[in-house]
Structure 1
Amino acid sequence: MAVPFLDADQRHPITLPDGTPYTNTVWLGSVIDHPNIEVGDFTYYNDFEPVTDYAARIAPYLHPGAPERLIIGKFCQFANGTRFITSSADHPKRWFTSYPFAVFDQALFPYFDEEFAKGADTVIGNDVWVGDGARIMPGVTLGDGVIVGAGAIVTRDVPSWSIVAGNPGRVVRRRFPDDVCDRLDRLAWWDRDLADIRALVPVLASADLAALDAALAERGL
């Protein structure tokens, strides 16, 4: 039986030329076991420092049992310093104070229950690349194929196939014309089986529209 070209069960998916694993990079799905975090296959994270708790590294404010979730798609690429600042990090903004008194005195929780129970999920699509040091703020959704520039602070939802950069993050442009984005949405290559994804690599690693159209036609799409 042929060995699949990608193995979702690996911890360190990159092997150096001398045969040793490159330990800075991990499949997140193989190293995170957290009730509030869902990670699709083949999504990787790279860090330049040793990490003992990857959930705490990428989502430091998300504790088990929090009202929000972090949902990450397949084949995402997260550079060193990527952080998801989830809703539990937020403080009341409509009150006269933003200070979370109930964290320090449980008798005050009745005043904070409703506010602390709020928590919009952070949702990351498939094939999303987040650059070095970027921050994704509470409740943000990034569509499929989004690229987030290094150091960006993303505070609003980003449509699929967009490039976002800056602080606050702003959409710079769509990566492709709308008709090409529609084709990529139909292909949804990340949902296909590994053998088909492997067969699609020559198309995916190109900007050949004719080849993309042929791949869609071959699959009845």
Structure 2
Amino acid sequence: MVIESKHLAIGAHTYIRSDCVLSAVSSIGRFCSISTRCFIGQQKSSHPTDWLSSHPFQYTDTALTFDPVVADVTIGHDVWIGHSAMILEGVQVGTGAIIATRALVTQDVPPYAIVAGTPAKIIKYRHDPHTIARLLDSQWWNLDVQLLQTLPLNDPAAALDQLENMQLKQANYPRIEITRKSTAILPAQPQLTMA
């Protein structure tokens, strides 16, 4: 896995498989499942498109600079991202969303939507609007896993009924935070010659 993000927070119980690139992404929620070879936060303009050339020779070892503004991706809770999916910078992926294998996500994904294709389009929703609202209101991802495992997880309506009738205490989950310090390329030291 390659992490290029300047600051990234990852929620509890989230797993990320091998060969992923986390480029421009600031947060990944709890209980997310990220498959292999995903690229999250791909820049939309990593080369200048309105200059003489798109090649980096124009701003390498010259007075010109090319430093596009990049917006971070945010990923909600309980998101499943399939193998080799790519999410472009600035996209917000809603809680409960599923991104299909090899999808190219160019725009925001609503909560509990299933998206697929290039570019990714909504195929359907995981649940009806009423159940989606109840799931979001429940914020079940803030609860202890041991409590969640006592619920009828294969019947969301019944699980939500039980949650709504319980005295709930939020879990105190740790989260991972990764912060990169700025780096700079220093100019080569001049060669000293002895006269």
TM-score normalized by the length of structure 2? 0.73
- 8 Å CA contact retained: 1:81, 1:132: yes
User: Whole-Å Cα distance in 1 between the matches of residues 156 and 73 of structure 2?
Assistant: 33
Match of 2:114 among 143, 163, 170: 163
Shift in Å at residue 97 of structure 1? 4.5
1:201 aligns with 2:149: yes
Identify the residue that residue 38 of structure 1 maps to in structure 2. Answer: 9
Which of 116, 119, 126 matches 2:70? 119
CA 1:32 to 1:203, structure 2 compared with 1: closer, same or farther past 3 Å? farther
1:58 to 10, 13, 21: 21
Say which structure, 1 or 2, has more relative contact order (CA 8 Å, 6+ apart): 2
Higher strand share: 2
1:88 and 1:43 map into 2 onto residues whose CA distance is 26
Aligned alpha-carbon RMSD (Å)? 2.8
1:7-86 to structure 2, matched below 5 A, reads 35-47=6-18, 57-59=20-22, 62=23, 69-86=25-42
* Structure with more of its chain in helix, by fraction: 1
Consecutive unaligned residues of structure 2, counting only runs of 5 or more, are 169-195
Judging changes above 3 Å, is the alpha-carbon distance between structure 1 residues 207 and 38 closer, same or farther for their aligned structure 2 residues?
same
One of 61, 70, 75 as aligned partner of 1:105: 61
Equivalent pairs counted in the alignment come to 168
- Equivalent position of 1:54 in the other structure: none
Give, in whole Å, the separation in 2 of the partners of 1:209 and 1:107. 61
Question: Against the structure 1 CA distance between its residues 211 and 92, is the aligned structure 2 distance closer, same or farther, given a 3 Å change threshold?
Answer: same
Are the equivalent residues in 2 in contact too, given 1:133–1:152 (CA < 8 A)? yes
SS of the equivalent of 1:205 reads coil
**Aligned residue in 1 for 2:46:** 90
Give the aligned residue type for 2:64. Answer: L
Q: Matched residues in 2 for 1:177 and 1:152: separation? A: 23
Q: Is the 8 A contact 1:87 1:121 kept in 2?
A: no
Provide the secondary structure at the position in 2 that maps to 1:218. coil
Structure 2 CA distance, aligned partners of 1:32 and 1:120? 16
Larger Cα Rg: Structure 1 or Structure 2? 2
Deviation at 1:189, TM superposition (A): 1.2
Normalising by structure 1, report the TM-score.
0.66
**Is residue 86–residue 122 contact of structure 1 (8 Å, CA) maintained in 2?**
no
Please give the alpha-carbon distance, in whole angstroms, between the structure 2 residues aligned to 1:41 and 1:33.
Answer: 20
Cα deviation code 1:140-163 (max 9, x no counterpart):
110000011111111111000000
Q: Which amino acid in 2 is paired with 1:136?
A: I
Structure 1 residue 178: deviation in Å?
0.5
Residues 208, 143 of structure 1: CA spacing in aligned structure 2 closer, same or farther, 3 A cutoff? Answer: closer
CA distance in 1: counterparts of 2:50 and 2:138, whole angstroms: 44
Name structure 1 gaps, 5 residues minimum: 1-27, 52-56, 63-67
Opposite residue 135 of structure 2, the aligned amino acid is: L
